[in-house]
Structure 1
Amino acid sequence: PFLIAADTYRPAAVDQLVTLAKQINVDYYEEGVNNSPVNIAANGIKAAREAGADVVIIDTAGRLQIDEELMRELQQIRDKTNPAEVLLVADAMTGQEAVNIARGFNEQVGVTGLILTKIDGDARGGAAISMRAVTNVPIKFLGTSEKMDGFELFHPDRLTDRILGMGDMMSLIEKAEEAFSEEEALKLQQKMMKNQFTLQDFLEQLQKIKRMGSIANILGMIPGMSRLQMQGAIDNEQVEKRIKRVEAIINSMTPDERNNPKKLNASRKKRIAKGSGVEVRDVNEVLSQFRQMQKMMEQLRRGKLPNIPGIGKLMGR
């Protein structure tokens, strides 16, 4: 892959693309902001050919409304570079305005596909249906978070389930398979069945879950949870804050304390609270929830259906 920074309008756009290219270890081309986007795109294609690139992505300036001058510029870039695809990246949260932009882009530039971002937000992708209708081109990808792994192929049936609040278990399973190896899952299962699950294990699982994407997106894939989100019964922001707080508290413990939480006396709890920027009661709450989790695991090990207390707190209520 090869990236070309042709957005000379948005402040720091070139720097952001260069930073991204370095993060994912791909070649890039940039001339700063002093040359025209049309010339930058043409020069970038030449550089990409010399580098032997097989896929080239030209990043152009975004448009929040239809601007005739900028549209002419896009037409010139298209004519100069002869791209195989012209993809419009649309924000699902902008609603009807995104639909109008999609229509204008398609009429003046000729769009071959759509990429819908912020699909983890409250809009739930309803704009996708309208944009698909007015452009008559396929939605190819979804952006589900600002992280590098928050990018997925578009599956119409899965998005329909999300819009209707029915969840998206297939995407959830795929993300879980990416975050958890089979060996790790087996090791965790054995620990849980032997009641050897520690705070260190808990921390590692939280970190793996975070790699799956935003909490809002993950909950939106779970049948029932997504409907509760739509009804406002789950405060996604509070859930994110609680998870960060739990991480900070466990990170403030020593390795020995994480593996042996019974050693946490009053003075140690005070030190942990100070180190994580919380109150001692917050430390006690995490320990209480962890003990409840251990009890649930013990009930499962004995073949009993566990009681799940405190679910309201977890959901930010």
Structure 2
Amino acid sequence: MHIIPDEDPTTRRSPGASFSAPPSAKVLDSVQMAELERTFRAWATSSPRRDVRWSRQRILLTFLLIRHTGAKLNEVLELKFRDIDLEKRVVILAGDDKDKARTVEIPDDLAEELRTALKKTVHAPDDALFRIDPAHVRRKFYEQAEACGLPRDFGNPSTLRRSRSVELLRGNLPLPVVQRMLGHSTPNLTAAHLDISEEDVHHAARQYMDRESRRRTSARNIFFGKITEIVTGDIQSEVTLLTLGGLSVVAVITNASIRRMRLKIGMFVTADIKAPWVLVAGSDAAEQNSAENRLPATVVEVGTERVNTEILLRLTDGTEICSITTSRSSRRLKLRSGDQTWVLFGAYCVILNRE
């Protein structure tokens, strides 16, 4: 059993949070939600009877869907087979009401868990997946909250829904996006879950300004830009992005990553290159290699140690690039501050992160 700390958990604030929940709101933080999930999973697999384990698994899946989508209990219990798209990793909530229906993302691991569960039986498109008495589900939610060491009413589905909305807002998901996920008619219903102080506003604004500034000044070994081309192959795709400084960077990633990140032309991404993957060539040697990315640069600083040398370079747009090479190679190049050279790195060395 997990013991609740002496302080009131409803007023707790995570270290990285930009906003806090009002003291009157019953909200679980991410750690408590994870503890509750572990308790649910242990309970779902603890029975020796297969039929009981399957019954409990359906309640576990109900909990996970509410926990990750912020859906209402009745919305999950009314889900039909056709309302779940495991390839796109989305569920359609309130699917029978076209005016209120909304499509909500689910995590990859939950999609796989649903895929495994749905394989156990054959379903028609209109089959309801969770034919469970709502009162029974609520009782089990309350029981698992108590087993986790939480107050009984913290297992209420509406508390889980509220907790998810605060978790998303603390994670800097835009308010209108959270509003649409939860199916709120106005942003005020979503924002009511937060207590926003003047200090919070300044902190959030400063975080955004700092992030925006880093994009303009181009952090070391990181490029920020827009995807201009995607060449799709059988297994991998070539992605080209144009940086704010006008440089082109090419990356090769798997088609599965393209789908998972939902990358498309016009989307903004960051490209990260680790220092050991960055090669340095003399001013007349850029063409005699197979690197897809060849960028002119100026040597800023050379820090030589016994085995390794760190070479700091600056590209034409001001981006700083760090290369780690052996000191033997560095001595052969005889680089000095101010020398004109080339930065080389292969497309397979570029890590893309969606903004």
| The two structures share one fold, judged by TM-score above 0.5 | no
Question: Is the strand fraction higher in 1 or 2?
Answer: 2
Tell which has more relative contact order, 1 or 2 (C-alpha 8 A, sep 6+): 2
**TM-score normalised by structure 1 residue count:** 0.27
Larger Rg: 2
Q: Normalising to structure 2: TM-score of the pair?
A: 0.25
